[in-house]
Amino acid sequence: MYNSRFHFLKGPFSLGVLARICGGRVYDKHDPSLLIHGIGSLDSAKSGEITFIAIKKTSHKLFNTLASACIMEDYDPKIVPKSIACIISSDPHASYAKIAQKFHPQIPSNPEVSGNADISNSCKIGKKVKIESFTVISDGVVLKDFVEISSGVHIGPNVTVGARTKIFSGVSIECADIGDDVVIYSGVRIGQSGFGFAPTNKGHIKIPQVGQVVIGDNVEIGANCCIDRGSTNNTVIGDGSFLDNLVHVAHNVQIGKHCAIAGQVGIAGSAVIEDFCMFGGQVGIGGHVHIGKAVQAAGQTGITRNVKSGKRIAGTPAVSLTQYHRQAVKLRHLARGTNEKSKN
């Protein structure tokens, strides 16, 4: 729920304007001049706000919502009260996201460099860069235009940070090139030495990790993620990929474009993940595994071998989602039969 103490709100906007922003259209019988003052979920939206329905099984909530407008895929007079105006969209969730960005744009910060920051004389700082107190910027660092760095950040030698990138407090970055429009949340560690060693009967011999981390444009990295630099190759995260909190990316991992990786996922060294993959929480991915495009893995899936593009998988070891559900049904039947035998 929106709270003015923490978030900036813009508007109001007419329903017609919002429809153009999200690529939808106002339902023919509804008023495009209706003013909308904010956004909200079906449960929390107030009068004057807009909500959305992504799946039809939640449409019954429309009869209890206070929202004045709703984004949906198809208009159905049987499920939409007359008091609610509609925007028709082929992707209501994405349309809602675009409208939410219109109401809650990022607040531009005042570009200033704190006198309490430790900044090397050899680094290059672009236009309108913000650096807060107790941040360390090492030799040879390049900060491009409009970068924002919060307090307590450490950026190691020769790191490049792209334009408009935001780095929150307590982050450390070394041996890395960061793209444009990246968001790095608090506590992230990027570019530390990877977990590489040669085991012998006398102990482990550490292998120097001489690669780097390359992060593309428009990437988001959640709080307390760890991304190791490559051992000889680079660790790469492609454009538009989102990492939730507490994700671990080991050395030499290649993550493609527009992937979404939920919290506590662990990706072992040299794994390759192609574009548009989605992983639920606590997925484990083995070393040197190759995962094709648009693979979806349910939470806690254990991926130990290559996965072809477009597959939906679950379980440990991973199997197709259909097979996983069949196994679950068989286990329930087996358990039921065992219980009946024990009663007899």
> Would you please indicate which residues are annotated as catalytic (active-site) residues?
251
Using only the alpha carbons of the chain, give its radius of gyration. Answer: 25
Q: How far apart are CA 300 and CA 224, in angstroms?
A: 19
Dist. CA 72–CA 274, nearest whole Å = 31
CA-closest candidate to residue 120, choices 157, 162, 175, 163: 157
Verify cis geometry, omega within 30 degrees of 0, for the bond prior to 317: yes
> Counting Cβ atoms within 10 Å, is residue 140 exposed (0-12), middle (13-18) or buried (19+)?
middle
Burial level of 112, CB count in 10 A (0-12/13-18/19+)?
A: exposed
What is the Cα–Cα distance from 294 to 286, expressed in whole angstroms? Answer: 18
**Residue 48: left if φ>0, alpha if ψ -120 to 50, beta else—which one?**
left
